[in-house]
């Protein structure tokens, strides 16, 4: 689990959460009252509250109703933290809980106190290390380039994004035969390792884009 938990309070606003997520480069956080978790908030909660189109309106001055939504308190749009785990819970039980409750992150609680958090990316990393006896990201054996490779089946998604430059969630979901939510989760893992970036345009559908800081020069050279 991650012990240094970034959290928000129920009194903070939509604005506060957006700023925190952008600054800390996270996609979700527990809501705490004192040391006790009482809820969870994620990027999807923010997007449900204010659409991408309304986000643009907000930046450009915004309609009154959009501004009022953006000033809402966290306690008014968070999800109650009904799903928690304990520090000594077995990883298999944690995975079963996350799948059964369809959640991406769960607070770790001990004696009603928040002591950590675990996300799907944490789970994937641990499973990969257990199965392959090496971390999730490593260099190919014999590879001379300093290029990490994901040792899970999402490397197929990375290969597709590297080939196309940008892949819509919907197109990837159709290709791999999984829900778009799963593509977003895989993309989040790729983004955490700075291999790709999630892109939520004001108009249009979300996509996964290649991280040009890592691959831009290589793609340019290969094109001549």
CATH of the domain at 100: 3.10.580.10
Q: Do 39 and 112 share a domain, yes or no? A: yes
Q: Do 107 and 144 share a domain, yes or no? A: no
Per-residue confidence of the chain (224 residues) as pLDDT tens digits? 888 899 999 999 988 998 898 888 888 999 999 889 999 998 888 888 776 666 666 665 656 667 777 788 999 999 887 789 999 998 888 888 888 888 888 999 999 899 999 988 888 777 766 655 444 444 445 544 454 444 456 778 888 999 999 999 999 999 888 888 888 888 888 887 788 999 998 888 899 999 887 765 444 443 43
Q: Do 18 and 118 share a domain, yes or no? A: yes
Q: Is the four-CA dihedral 184, 189, 147, 132 of positive or negative sign?
A: negative
Quote the pTM value: 0.55
Strands (E), 111-206: 113-119, 137-139, 148-150, 166-168, 196-199
Q: Do 85 and 168 share a domain, yes or no? A: no
73 DSSP 8-state letter: B
Q: Do 209 and 117 share a domain, yes or no? A: no
Give me the number of domains the chain comprises.
2
Q: How far apart are CA 205 and CA 191, in angstroms?
A: 18
Q: How far apart are CA 120 and CA 39, in angstroms?
A: 18
Does 9 reside within a domain? no
> Residue 162's CB: how many other CB atoms inside 10 A?
17
> Residue 133's CB: how many other CB atoms inside 10 A?
7
Q: Do 25 and 57 share a domain, yes or no? A: yes
Q: How far apart are CA 181 and CA 165, in angstroms?
A: 20
Q: Do 167 and 108 share a domain, yes or no? A: no
Phi, psi of 118 (to 5 degrees): -130, 135
Does 1 reside within a domain? no
């Amino acid at each position: 689990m991650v012990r240094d938990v970034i959290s928000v309070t129920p009194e903070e606003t939509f604005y506060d959460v957006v700023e925190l997520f952008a600054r800390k480069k996270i996609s979700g956080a527990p809501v705490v009252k004192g040391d006790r978790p009482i809820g969870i908030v994620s990027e999807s909660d923010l997007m449900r509250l204010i659409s991408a189109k309304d986000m643009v309106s907000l930046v450009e001055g915004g309609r009154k109703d959009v501004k009022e939504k953006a000033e809402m308190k966290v306690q008014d749009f968070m999800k109650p933290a009904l799903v928690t785990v304990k520090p000594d819970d077995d990883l298999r039980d944690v995975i079963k809980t996350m799948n059964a409750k369809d959640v991406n992150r769960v607070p770790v609680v001990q004696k009603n106190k928040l002591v950590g958090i675990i996300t799907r990316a944490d789970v994937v990393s641990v499973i990969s290390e257990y199965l392959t006896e090496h971390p999730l990201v490593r260099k190919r054996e014999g590879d001379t380039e300093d290029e990490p490779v994901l040792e899970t089946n999402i490397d197929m998604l990375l290969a597709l994004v590297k080939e196309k430059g940008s892949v819509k969630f919907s197109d990837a979901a159709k290709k791999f035969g999984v829900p778009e939510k799963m593509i977003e989760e895989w993309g989040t893992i790729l983004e955490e390792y700075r291999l790709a970036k999630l892109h939520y345009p004001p108009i249009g559908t979300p996509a996964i884009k290649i991280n040009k800081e890592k691959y831009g020069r290589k793609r340019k050279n290969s094109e001549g």
